[in-house]
Amino acid sequence: MLEIKNLHVSIDNKKILKGINLTIISGELHAIMGRNGSGKSTLSHVIAGKEGYEIEGEILFNGESLLGKSPEERALAGIFMSFQYPVVISGVNNTYFLKAALNAKLKANGQPELDAMDFLSLIKEKIKLVGMDESYLSRNVNDGFSGGEKKQNEILQLLTLEPTFAILDETDSGLDIDALKIIANGVNQYRNSERGILAITHYQRLLDYMKPDVVHAMIDGKIVKTGDMSLAKELEKKGYSWLID
Amino acid sequence: MEYFKSQLDSLNNQWTHEPEKMMHLRNSALEQFLQMGLPNKHWEDWQFTDFSPFDKTKFRISSADDVKDIDKYHTQSFTDSFSIIILNGHYQPQLSHVPNGVTIRTLFDVFIKDEKVGLSYSEENPFIALNTSLMNCGLVVDVSDGIQIDKPIHYQFISTGIKDNIMNHPRLLIRLGENSSTEIIEHYKGESTSLYWNNCVTVCELGKNGELHHTRIQEDTGYHTGNMEYHLQNDARLNTLFFNSGTELYRGDVNINFNGQNASAELNGLSLLNNNQHMDMRIIVDHAYPHCTSNQLFKYILDNKSTGVFNGRVIVQKDSQKTDSSQSNKNLLLSKSSSMNSNPQLEIYADDVRCSHGSTTGQLDEEVLYYLRSRGIDAVMAQQLMVEGFAGELLVNIKNEKTITYLSNKLTSWLKSLENG
């Protein structure tokens, strides 16, 4: 479903990604592990369509090139990114925002949009899955949310919008063990044979709960080793320096 | 400037029934105005606005002939309300109605009875002097003591269908009795193709423990100068929103005077600017008594080449201990060629007070825009959501829900008009 071919990315002439090749098929969960500054988050944003990068190479989603498409076009094509640092949107109510996002998708698919009542009953079901109180629905998006609550809110969006491909950018960072379980549980509910997931992380612990099919180690803008869960365990134990030599 | 003199002559000729002392007041106010002249860039509190357009166009004062048959549609309120209707500067008693306990009289009626009524004009503001001189629509609204009005009073000042460049100088005096509470929507609107000018003075006197919710909606398409003056007795509570949209050139002066203790004033403002529009507000809050509260939040949203000015001053007098005051001005620039001049000031002469002030001007946050778009919301809608979010906190404080809906819709259609060029 997602095919990345020889992807080179720079910002202000500084090379960040130096030839990434990655293929993820439906039903698979891939994890990319790497240290800070290895280019993991840049890869997420380049897939999601953030502007400001110089890009060479190819990103295909279900056979179509994503490059040149706007973030909203990519979202409507089925791509979702859980942000490492979800932003606060002043004055915009969480429910209103989620409804606008879901209705944008329904509209693009030629389906009828949900009215406020129908949406509310849907979102009240979804919010239970991520263990959040309903009061978060009437608050402004991420305004005053703790680090963990922001991540829960990202997973709530994932479960509401039901994209076909999800990028989880450091969704585990800053979470305590209880929050981590809730997040992993949410992701596992999302996961099925039709959907692909790319999880980006520093640590193995989120992967313990999510059991990736493939694990990649990323160093200095390149995927230097690919394996299974045992690679994650090895990276956790030995760090990354053994891969450089 | 000569045209103002000839306009006063024509007014004096038309209104020969006016008592001599009224004519005297008009003449001396005009003298004061001519002596001051229009503000120029050497006037500190006026320096960011070009007032020469008021001299370039020779406006004529509206006359009885300017009241045409008007489509009822224009006078309908957006909410269930009592109403005061003014068409092209002329009060329409037959279209107006107010509840028991409230009276409306013309200033002329009050004046000939020799009742004491404040018609002073400051020596610092030429537009008030000009209004006093050319006053052509004076109304006094009195709310008796202890009256609670459950519906808003919707004052509609409608300018429409005139081909000449007309001007009006309305004076509105609202006197709220002790322990009474009311909501007033002061609404200026017009859709004339020719340039017109409304130079307004509104004075609100709040009696002891009186509560006034005042929403001033200013969507004139011509020029607008407005002077809003408030006097608060002990325990009085004032809640205002100044909404400005549509006008080419706007200057608004707000003066808050605390005349007693434990009074509070919530002052909110939302100004929407596009094209070459220019809006300039000066807010002066004078804490002359202790234990009073004032909170200000003024926001401007600017697009294209529009320019805005916010000039706010909070003065805490020497004996005004326990004053609690905040002043905030936040501005959103939607285009690179729009600009904002913000100058919040505090003058504190008492020592046991809590005061804050601040100002921010910026563009839409690119990170937020990207976040919204990454959820499938297109760029136009994302911008709309963010701007509505920015403005929204000002609207929620309005008492009347229909007013909130009306202004929310105004904001949405204003945002849509930006997209369409």
What pLDDT, in 10s, does the model give residues A4-63?
Answer: 999 999 999 999 999 999 999 999 999 999 988 899 999 999 999 999 999 999 999 999
Chain A residues near residue B390 by CB distance under 8 angstroms: 90-91
Give CA–CA dist B400/B78, Å, rounded: 11
* Nearest-neighbour CA in chain A from B60: distance (Å): 44
Give CA–CA dist B336/B134, Å, rounded: 40
CA distances from B150 to A2, B98, B147, B410 (A): 62, 12, 10, 25
Provide the pLDDT for residue B73: 64
Up-side HSE of residue B197: CA atoms within 13 Å toward CB?
A: 22
Provide the pLDDT for residue B4: 94
The residues facing B340 across adjacent strands are B308
- Whether B374 sits inside 8 A of A72 (CB atoms) is yes
Which long-range contacts (C-beta less than 8 Å, at least 24 apart) are formed by B406-410? B406/B78, B406/B79, B406/B217, B407/B217, B407/B243, B407/B270, B410/B219, B410/B243, B410/B245, B410/B272
Instruction: Enumerate residue ranges in chain B where pLDDT < 50.
Output: none
Sole residue written with tokens 């401007």 = B300
Q: Which of B375, B381, B386 to mutate to test the interface with A (most CBs of A within 10 A)?
A: B375
Provide the pLDDT for residue A179: 87
CATH superfamily of A2-244: P-loop containing nucleotide triphosphate hydrolases (3.40.50.300)
Chain A residues near residue B388 by CB distance under 8 angstroms: 91-92
Tell me which residue of B176, B41, B30 sits closest to B103, measured CA to CA: B176
Q: Which two tokens stand for residue A133?
A: 């109180």
Burial of A68 (0-12, 13-18, 19+ CB in 10 A): exposed
Instruction: Enumerate residue ranges in chain A where pLDDT < 70.
Output: 245
Sheet holding B181-190, edge to edge: B90-91, B82-87, B153-159, B181-190, B211-219, B237-245, B264-273, B293-302, B324-333, B354-362
* Nearest-neighbour CA in chain A from B168: distance (Å): 38
- Whether A86 sits inside 8 A of B371 (CB atoms) is yes
Give CA–CA dist B47/B64, Å, rounded: 36
Is B56 in CB contact (< 8 Å) with chain A?
A: no
Query: What is the 3-state composition of chain A as percent helix, strand, coil, each rounded to the nearest 5?
Result: 40, 25, 35
Give CA–CA dist B272/B300, Å, rounded: 6
Instruction: Give the helix/strand (H/E) hosting B299.
Output: strand B293-302
Is B367 in CB contact (< 8 Å) with chain A?
A: yes
Tell me which residue of A58, A55, A41 sits closest to A4, measured CA to CA: A58
Count of CB contacts below 8 A, A vs B? Answer: 78
Chain B residues near residue A142 by CB distance under 8 angstroms: none
Q: At what angle do helices A177-190 and A147-161 cross, to 10 degrees?
A: 10
- Where does A69-197 have alpha helices with state H? 71-77, 94-108, 116-129, 147-161, 177-190
Chain A residues near residue B368 by CB distance under 8 angstroms: 87-89
Is B376 in CB contact (< 8 Å) with chain A?
A: yes
Provide the pLDDT for residue B69: 67
Provide the pLDDT for residue B418: 87
Chain A residues near residue B381 by CB distance under 8 angstroms: 100, 104
Tell me which residue of B320, B324, B314, B318 sits closest to B345, measured CA to CA: B314
Chain A residues near residue B389 by CB distance under 8 angstroms: 89-92, 140
Residue of B nearest to A78 (CA): B376
Phi–psi pair at B150, nearest 5 degrees: -85, -20
CB distance B266 to B397 below 8 Å = yes
Give CA–CA dist B90/A151, Å, rounded: 60
Give CA–CA dist B188/B174, Å, rounded: 17
Sole residue written with tokens 């929620």 = B396
Which long-range contacts (C-beta less than 8 Å, at least 24 apart) are formed by A240-245? A240/A34, A240/A35, A243/A217, A243/A219, A244/A219
Residues of A at the B interface, defined by Cβ within 8 angstroms: 48-51, 70-72, 74-76, 80-81, 83, 86-92, 96-97, 100-101, 104-105, 108, 140, 157, 161
Chain B residues near residue A111 by CB distance under 8 angstroms: none
The residues facing B211 across adjacent strands are B181, B237
Task: Report helix, strand or coil for A159.
Answer: helix
Provide the pLDDT for residue B71: 67
Give CA–CA dist B281/B390, Å, rounded: 19
Helix (H), strand (E), coil (C) string for B367-413: HHHHHHHCCCCCHHHHHHHHHHHHHHHHHCCCCCHHHHHHHHHHHHH
Partner-chain residue, chosen from A89, A100, A161, that has the shortest CB–CB distance to B381: A100
Tell me which residue of A201, A199, A197, A226 sits closest to A214, measured CA to CA: A226
Partner-chain residue, chosen from A70, A87, A91, that has the shortest CB–CB distance to B392: A91
- Whether A71 sits inside 8 A of B374 (CB atoms) is yes
Q: Which two tokens stand for residue A74?
A: 């990519």
Question: What sign does the dihedral A207-A213-A219-A221 (CA atoms) show?
Answer: negative
Is B45 in CB contact (< 8 Å) with chain A?
A: no
Sheet holding A14-24, edge to edge: A14-24, A2-11, A54-61, A64-65
pTM of the prediction? Answer: 0.90
* Nearest-neighbour CA in chain A from B367: distance (Å): 7
Sole residue written with tokens 């609202």 = B174
Tell me which residue of B256, B30, B218 sits closest to B130, measured CA to CA: B30
CB distance A228 to A211 below 8 Å = no
